[in-house]
Amino acid sequence: MFPVIRKNIKSCVLFCIATFLSISLACNENYATEKQAGVKTESGSKNIDQKGTVMPEKIIRSDEEWKRILTPEQYKITRKKGTEPPFTGKYNNYKEKGTFRCVGCGNDLFRSEAKYDSGTGWPSFWEPISEQNIKTTPDTSHGMIRTEVLCSRCDAHLGHVFNDGPPPTGLRYCINSASLDHVKKKEE
């Protein structure tokens, strides 16, 4: 009886070690790919808007303040890392020219010229206005390994970035509509 138990324990330990090594290797390959593709994994020192001017410093608010400022849906997505259902966000099929800003602090995030239809059900962009206006961090929630995108000014959860986007960056910033405001481009 005991040899059978020892054999099963040995098999279980070997399986756990193999699984751990596989996950570690996948994380390292994903990190290396993101570094190569230019996905930023550390926060920038200052926020720069599309005109090259420095944005005001970091915004820090209490949970109660965020609840007063944001709608319940915006709060759930930006502060609690929620996700709106696909194909339901107001900016998914939105075509107006202008700038997409963070709903929490007004930080300029994406230009409409970088928006494209990825077919995923969320607004998708191939590049941010500035790498310094966003930050990214590994996200292992829901049993997946992804790269979360945050506003660098107020730490609002925006969505995720993937390495399956169009040229020239090859990136797809998949962003929740509820985390964005849009400012129409002024007629020149």
The set of residues, in sequence order, having a beta carbon less than 8 Å from that of 180 and lying 6+ positions away, is: 91, 100, 101, 102, 103, 109, 110, 123, 158
Residue (of 175, 163, 74) closest to 122 by Cα position: 175
174 is catalytic: yes
If you write DSSP's letter for every residue of 69-134 in order, what string do you get?
Answer: HS-HHHHHHHTT---PPTT-STTTT----EEEEETTT--EEEEGGGEE--SSSS-EESS-S-GGGE
Tell me, letter by letter, the H, E, C secondary structure of 90-107. CCCCCCCCEEEEECCCCC
What tokens appear for 81 in the block?
């890392």
Peptide bond into 168 cis (omega under 30): yes
Q: Please tell me which residue in 102, 105, 151, 174 is annotated as part of the active site.
A: 174
- Please identify every residue annotated as catalytic: 174
